[in-house]
Structure 1
Amino acid sequence: MTERRGTWVGSSVGRREDPRLLTGQGRFVDDIHLPQMLHAQFVRSTIAAGTVVSIDLSATLAVPGVVAAYTAADLDMGDITAILDRPASEFVQTDMPVLARDRVRYVGEPLAIVLAEDPYAVEDGLEAARVTYDADAPVVSDEVAMAPGAPLVHEAATGNVLVDVSMFATEGIDRIIDEAPCVVRVRAKTGRQNALPLETRGVVASWDARDEQLLVQTCTQVPHQVRTVMAGCLGLAERSVRVLVPDMGGGFGLKCVVGREEIAVGAACLKAGRPVKWIEDRRDALTASFLAREQRYDVRAAFDGDGRLLALDADIVCDMGAYSCYPFTAGIEPLMASAELPGVYKVPAYRVRGRAVTTNKAPTAPYRGVSRPQIVMVMERLFERAARELDMDPVEIRRRNLITEFPYTGINDVTYDPGSYLESLDLCERVLKDEGWYERRGAARSSGRFIGIGYSCFSERTGYGSAAFAKRKMAVVPGFDMAEIRMDLSGGVTVTTGTMSHGQSHETTLAQIVADRLGLDIAEVKIHQGDTDRITYGFGTFASRSATIGGSAVARAATALGERLLALGAHLLETTYDNVELDARRVRRRDDGRALSFEELADVAYLKAHLLPKDAEPGLTASATFDVHGDGTFSNAAHGAVVELHPGTGQIEILRYVCVEDCGVAINPQVVEGQARGGIAQGIAGALFEEITYDEQGEPSCASFIDYKVPTAGEIPDISVHHLETPCAFTESGAKGAGEGGTIGAPAAVLNAVNDALRPTGVELDDTPIRPETVQRALATIGVFA
């Protein structure tokens, strides 16, 4: 790690984005209006499975204001195909057509694109479309999908299991479990969720005749990957596609995959010869967009008599919907869960089988945390159950099993860098004890109230580099990132990064890194992102990689520019490189204090090139890349939740929530706390509220917020965030990622708190979301009624 040069990193400076966004000056996809622009929406399947007999758009084309309507047969497009380099026994490839052709595989699958002069005419055009189907019985659950003789979601496949991988089968694990003094088992299910960014997906495509480019303005986390897939599907050279991302209102992983609608809008623009805009409406966002989280676990854990974990045996099934997402494939959830289930605990023996099952539902994409909310929930339930079986304190049994010596290479072949696993748990428990919650719980029980305390301990692998993604055997291997920096004649700098902010404050935090490296004010640092023409390639923002990988690339580029400034300054000051230093926007001689300002150096670099050292190039620019050549770095945290159960309604009220987090060096602590609080809110949502279910015909239950219950500020408690700092040894600023941790830890802490409150009933809950009627039934077992 490079030593910090200034004081910006570690300071909670105000977000530079806020003045623009809070005064209505942000520019989002729906704010884009181009001359002759057409509005697009999609004719979508109304059945979950079947053959498309006919698509009649004649009435659509007769609707006033409708300009065109295209099916797959009208547009020249290739399929979107995501691949794992695994044998056929482990991975089954499923191509996703941009527009469905002869088959439909979920309600909401796009069949045709309609273009009109305004958003109202396009909706009328959709109503006039007529599609005839030969419906089939849909596959609506993983149990049905894996049953003998089940209908095939993909006729070309031999079954409905797309990924089936067994890993880490420790020799003798069955004997260890059979002979263990204590064996506990958790069977858990988690509900299907929507990532629900405030801004739905959207795209504006237009042809730039001067540059001979298709300009695609879209809200994506991965602009370069959209460019690559767009060019491939449309048969264009990559240089003929430019992806530009304006301000973006959230993504949470939903927007880190390539959607078929983006490609269809680009194809329709080329076909119609006019700009085309598509803004996803909320109904489509809830039912037909990428979903996540529907998983089922059957896990056994063996413990010795002192509460030390001996072995872990897991079977994991993930319902991935109809198709593999690009580029992660249907393996995104089961492979993550299988590789990282052991988490922060020492596991001597391990065996896991992870499967991805295809069903007639909207496909799955990454969602903040990707399987880690579930695996942490399962692991923490195992420890709670073992503590009860062994009559141990649930915090103490965790202490005996936490990793405390680093670096630690686990049974899962993952090496964990230093963290504060034990210290985080100790502080979290101490905060709740000092606030008197243990006494309040005891007093509540004696007066007939049901208050419980629950914990979760976890790590968050951040900064997955190429080596980590390569272990999944992805055909597209994300990992590295790039940054470019240039100084202008005013002495300020412009930085271009391959990462993409969708609310993470990159304009502030990345500027803090650069300002420290060069001795600038952050107001003198401009961050550019989300433009595929400004930087050769980048993998965008997901998996908490922006501060670790993107920030490190930015830091290296700034350092390289600083070295160019020092070399030029030493030459002009007639001294050696070792005798100069960066100091308050100057290059200063160490011996006599003579100095040249950045403006003076830039004047020579750009306007007086004849004064440059021999063989030096004009200008002040630099570029750098960064990759993590290992397993990444691990942030960690402990969460503590206090809940009260209300017998009359079965409602669960969160009285207190404490988060102790360690993300290494917090570049901007206020931003980190915002990430933690937002993530915890999403984790609470998954624990208590949000779920999309399907009826027997594959119709989704939640087409509006009346049915899809999203928590409001009234349901989210005050969250206390405490910081520990274990700097990362191999990122440039010592930072670890902080984007997903809140979501990862919250479901387990809430579920454990609910079970603690239910202890007098003898009922234990393992599934989420926890429904009020479930709580009511549990309390009824001891004679407590509404």
Structure 2
Amino acid sequence: MSGTREPGFRRDGSWVGASVPRKEDPRLLAGRGRFVDDITLPGMLHAQFVRASVAHARITGIDLDGVRETPGVVAAFTAEDLGLADITAVLDRPPHEFVPTAMPVLARDKVRYVGEPLAIVVARDPYAVEDGVELAVVEYDELDPVMSDTAALAPGAVLVHAEAPANTLVDVSMFATEGIDEVFDDAHTVVRVQAKTGRQNALPLETRGVVADWDDRDEQLRVRTCTQIPHQVRTVLARCAGLAERQVRVTVPDMGGGFGQKCVVGREEIAAAAAALKLRRPVKWIEDRRDALTAAFLAREQRYDARAAFDADGAILALDVDIVCDMGAYSCYPFTAGIEPLMASAEMPGVYRLPAYRVRGRAVTTNKAPTGPYRGVSRPQYVMVMERLMEKAARALDLDPVELRRRNVITVFPYKGINNITYDPGSYRESLDLCERVLRDEGWCKVRAESADRVIGIGYSCFSERTGYGSGAFAARKMSVVPGFDIAEIKMDVSGTVVVTSGTMSHGQSHETTLAQIVADRLGLDIDQVKIVQGDTDRVTYGFGSFASRSITIGGSAVGAASGKLGETLREIAAHLLETDLDNTELDGAGGIRLRDDPDRGLSYADIAEIAYLKAHLLPKGVEPGLAATASFDVAGDGTFANATHGVVVELDRGTGDVRILRYVCVEDCGVAIHPQVVEGQCRGGIAQGIAGALFEQVTYDDTGQPLCPSFMEYKVPTAAEIPEVAIHHLETPCAFTENGAKGVGEGGTIGAPAAVLNAVNDALRDTGVELDDTPIPRESVYRALEGTPVEVLERQPV
């Protein structure tokens, strides 16, 4: 099916598949949402951090006397004052493949990037704390900073960490097909792409923050923070502070975006909570935008050198890739510095049948803010490289680029790839065909051919999005912390309504609605009779939060399974009360149980709940009082693959080199769409971030390590004027092993956009002899190519 469904309440009697009004909207749109910065507690203090002003140095002294004398300042703590253990992320790999590096909560002996926290200052109000921070005196013995991957890997380079030779944290060759060199030697055509991608900030609307206080009655450190992974924050905080995990409770209020930046454990949250514990007073820290732009977890800075071999008919024969990822100063917890090179190495073949593959993936450390996950994690980069290889091969073989893709995409499923990943059924060929047909039917190919006075190009990207990573997939990376499963619990009260707890964590994905739709369908309830609870480590047994498009595939499956278990208990009680066999009962789809052989006889959930809670003596033997069920879900295999094709039409401005997007078409297949309107919102938001990476956003530094993008004046974020209208068409290939047939959809928009935009720009430049392979696309390079600057001169231009 294609096209966009109109919003509605139910489709074919089912909540799943209907674009129902979001349950979150009345609260959020009316300004009644409660975010971290909305929380105020009696006696609350405010915290900020003394941060490193140089990129690389030994710390020879920190003088906080002036800070402590500042009016309104209550306390100031260094690392020694708080005495916290370090945060260390580990891979279970041999030393030649992985080097662990400890990240102190507050820097002690050395600073490794501008903005690294050195001390925490706590005051009675936000203004006094800023005054106090200004009076800190830090003395340094400065060292030469390492500011690029090439500098990090250069012979004799200064070491960011003494324990990491050659500044290399990860060096893994995951695949090397025997005889691959001979394949390249004998190939009809070999093409090469050398590409680099700019460092980016995930840029959630709400910056990071925390409110922490100690509760004497509960003997708990209560931490309210905007995180995607509350249970991991609890674990790390307990370990750093020497507490039992029961003594830490992490709760997450409404959250304004995360995009992966908040699915790692931050140092500032731990330090603020430790200050609250030490002072026995509530402490709030809210990250300001300057710190968010310069000192928060960043992502995306990668370099690829890739070769692909093809036969005369355009079939890809082999792929050989070297990947270097600039991961900044430290490994993030729990994913480590391996998150980007391991992702790219494992999944780069993507949607294409590939007989031979060799890859080396490295993570290097530099004097920049650490790298964490960001929507898509390496897939926007390696998809861009793969799609550039396809375009270059098509030119070399004089084939249509879309036709070359058709000859290589996977069409028979399940497909076991050369990367040892099994791909479940998808619509790779169908999405490619539909996307091309839409643009042709709209006349864009004719416009490109007949507009001699305009510079117009059309580009495509065809890709998959691996979602629902189970424990097995993360274990294959040899992580010491292995995410994967999720646990859900459902409780029905005496009135027959339910509360469902989930280990997933909404930060804008509409979980209160989509998870409720799954429950409402499984139990035959109205969606308003379902309440979803997330983000409370005391109420949710355990969970790994939300990232990698796992919330509906894994969290939603756990919720569905728990609902199914509760339904069985309801049937068992009803069968006993109605004096019939269990097999003669069924859910009636309207909040009750009925008899199969006499549908007019039955009991409502409220009737059954009254027995379960208030008249337990009437329950059948072996059934305990109350109505609750718990279920877990994990994916035993390699996860499920959503897929999509993006098609883009661009026009280049001869006078400025600007890239204007005239048309954007997305054909996506996420299996069963729980809420089509939410799916489209995810696609559009992801595409906007992908376009931003392709054309605008890049974190840069000077030679001394000072960030050059401390505000939105320097960090170029697109506005609504730069993001085009996006046409979305749906295909549906249900997943066979999730509870609801859904595949993930959260990252696909971001994954496909850079490749499609870059290919469109290169198509527009087809007559200039220039091909661009880096993002963000340098406007000056586009301008000079259109102006007629020789290719060899253009290639020497810094970008």
Q: TM-score range by the shorter chain?
A: over 0.9
Residues 324, 782 of structure 1: CA spacing in aligned structure 2 closer, same or farther, 3 A cutoff?
closer
Residue among 103, 123, 127 paired with 2:130: 123
- The 5 Å alignment of 1:413-428 reads 413-428=420-435
Partner of 2:767, secondary structure, is helix
Counterpart Cα distance in 2 of 1:366 and 1:6: 39
C-alpha offsets along residues 266-303 of structure 1, whole Å, 9 cap, x if unaligned?
Answer: 11111112100000000000000000000000000000
Match of 1:345 in 2: 352
Kept in 1, the 8 Å contact 2:650–2:760? The answer is yes
Instruction: Determine the structure 2 residue equivalent to 1:558.
Output: 563
What letter matches 1:659 in structure 2? C
**Please, which of 372, 379, 390 is the counterpart of residue 383 of structure 1?**
390
Question: 1:84, 1:144 → 2: CA distance?
Answer: 25
Letter in 1 for 2:554: I
Matched, 1:479 2:496: no
DSSP 3-state at the match of 2:298: coil
Q: Deviations over 1:84-136 (max 9, x none)?
A: 00000000010000000010000000000000111111111111111010100
Mapping of 1:278-427 within 5 angstroms? 278-427=285-434
* Residue 205 (structure 2) aligns with: 198
In 1, the alpha carbon distance for the partners of 2:623 and 2:80 equals 56
Give the aligned partner of residue 7 of structure 1: 14
Post-superposition CA distance 1:200-241 (Å, at most 9, x none): 000000011111100000000000000000000000000000
Q: Deviations over 1:679-698 (max 9, x none)?
A: 00000000000001111101
Q: State the partner residue of 1:683.
A: 690
Whether contact under 8 Å (1:6, 1:519) holds in the other structure is: no
Q: Does 1:616 align with 2:623?
A: yes
C-alpha distance in structure 2 between counterparts of 1:704 and 1:560, whole Å: 51
Question: What's 2:797 paired with?
Answer: none
**CA distance in structure 2 between the aligned counterparts of 1:209 and 1:738, rounded to whole angstroms:** 43
2:719 counterpart SS class: coil
* Distance verdict in 2 for CA 1:449–1:783, change over 3 Å: farther
- Which residue in 2 is equivalent to 1:696? 703
Q: Could you list the per-position Cα deviations for residues 460-496 of structure 1 after superposition, in whole angstroms to 9, with x for gaps in the alignment? A: 0000000000000000000000000000111110000
1:60 is aligned, of 60, 63, 67, to 67
The alignment status of 1:460 with 2:465, answered yes or no, reads yes
Residue 749, structure 1, aligned to residue 774, structure 2? no
Deviations for 1:511-541, whole angstroms, at most 9, x for unmatched residues?
0000000000100000000000002110000
In the other structure, the counterpart of 1:267 is 274
Which amino acid in structure 2 is aligned with residue 364 of structure 1? Answer: T
Give the Cα separation in 2 of the matches to 1:15 and 1:468.
Answer: 32
Q: Equivalents in 1 of 2:523, 2:121: separation in Å?
A: 52
Judged with a 3 Å threshold, the aligned counterparts in structure 2 of structure 1 residues 5 and 500 are, in CA distance, closer, same or farther, namely farther
Inter-partner Cα distance in structure 2 for 1:264 and 1:488: 40
CA contact (8 A) 2:149 2:366 kept: yes
Give the aligned residue type for 2:616: A
Paired residues of 2:99 and 2:163 also in contact (CA < 8 A) = no
In structure 2, what is the equivalent of residue 450 of structure 1?
Answer: 455
* Aligned AA (1:481): D
Matches of 1:472 and 1:499, distance apart in 2: 22
Name the CA distance, whole Å, in 1 between partners of 2:780 and 2:200: 20
* 2:166 match: secondary structure: coil
The equivalent residue for 2:6 is none
Paired residues for 1:69-108 under 5 Å: 69-108=76-115
How big is the shift at 1:76? 2.0
Structure 2: how far apart are the matches of 1:509 and 1:524? 14
Cα distance in 2 between the residues matched to 1:181 and 1:108: 51
Equivalent of 2:713, from 670, 683, 706?
706
Shift of 1:782: 7.0
Q: Give, in angstroms, the shift of residue 179 of structure 1.
A: 1.1
Q: CA deviation at 1:545?
A: 0.1
Q: For residue 108 of structure 1, what is the amino acid of its counterpart? A: G
Q: Distance in 2 between matches of 1:436 and 1:533?
A: 57
Number of the residue aligned with 2:548:
543
1:586 counterpart = 2:580:
no
Listed as ranges, the gaps of 5+ residues in structure 2 are 1-10, 792-799
Q: Give the superposition deviation at 1:6.
A: 5.2
Specify the code of the residue in structure 1 equivalent to 2:139: T
Contact 1:6 1:517 in 2 (8 A): no
| CA distance in 1 between partners of 2:177 and 2:597 (Å) | 63
SS of the residue 2:232 aligns to: helix
CA distance in 1, matches of 2:210, 2:513: 26
SS of the residue 1:159 aligns to: helix
Q: Which moved more, 1:6-15 or 1:659-668?
A: 6-15
Q: 1:241 to 1:5 in 2, by over 3 A?
A: farther
Q: Which residue of 1 aligns with 2:263?
A: 256
**Structure 1 SS opposite 2:173:** strand
Give the Cα–Cα distance (whole angstroms) in 1 for the partners of residues 591 and 475 of structure 2.
42
- Counterpart residue identity of residue 191, structure 1: G
In the TM superposition, what whole-angstrom CA distance separates every residue of 1:282-340 from its partner, at most 9, and x where no partner exists? Answer: 00000000000000000000000000000000000000000000000000000000000
CA distance in 2, matches of 1:192, 1:675: 23
Alignment equivalent of 1:720, drawn from 727, 732, 736? 727
| Alignment correspondent of 1:512 | 517
Deviation at 1:155, TM superposition (A): 1.8
What's 2:508 paired with? 503
Which whole-Å CA distance do the structure 2 matches of 1:7 and 1:562 have between them?
17
User: 2:8 matched to which residue of 1?
Assistant: none
- 1:556 match: secondary structure: helix
Structure 1: which 5+ residue stretches go unaligned?
none
**Residues 178-205 of structure 1, C-alpha deviations (whole Å, 9 max, x = no match):** 1101000000000000000000000000
Partner of 2:47: 40
Matched pairs, number: 779
Kindly provide the CA deviation profile for residues 115-161 of structure 1, in whole angstroms up to 9, marking residues without a partner as x: 01111111111111110101000000000000100000012333300
Report the alpha carbon displacement of residue 783 of structure 1 after superposing the two structures with TM. Answer: 10
Equivalent of 2:531 in 526, 529, 535: 526
Corresponding residue SS for 2:213: strand
1:163 pairs with 2:170:
yes
Q: Residue 549 of structure 1 contacts residue 626 of structure 1 at CA under 8 Å; is this kept in 2?
A: yes
Query: C-alpha displacement at 1:73, in angstroms?
Result: 0.8
The Cα of 1:772 is off from its aligned counterpart by 1.4
Q: 1:774 is matched by which residue type in structure 2?
A: S
* Paired AA for residue 76 in structure 2: A
RMSD: 1.0
| Aligned counterpart for 1:567 among listed residues 565, 572, 590 | 572
Q: Secondary structure of 1:527's partner?
A: strand
State the distance in 2 between where 1:717 and 1:314 align. 33
Q: State whether residues 76 and 267 of structure 1, in contact with CA within 8 Å, keep that contact through their aligned partners in structure 2.
A: no
1:19 aligns to 2:19 (yes or no): no
2:502 partner amino acid: T
Q: What's the TM-score, normalizing by structure 1? A: 0.98
Structure 2 counterpart SS, 1:761: coil
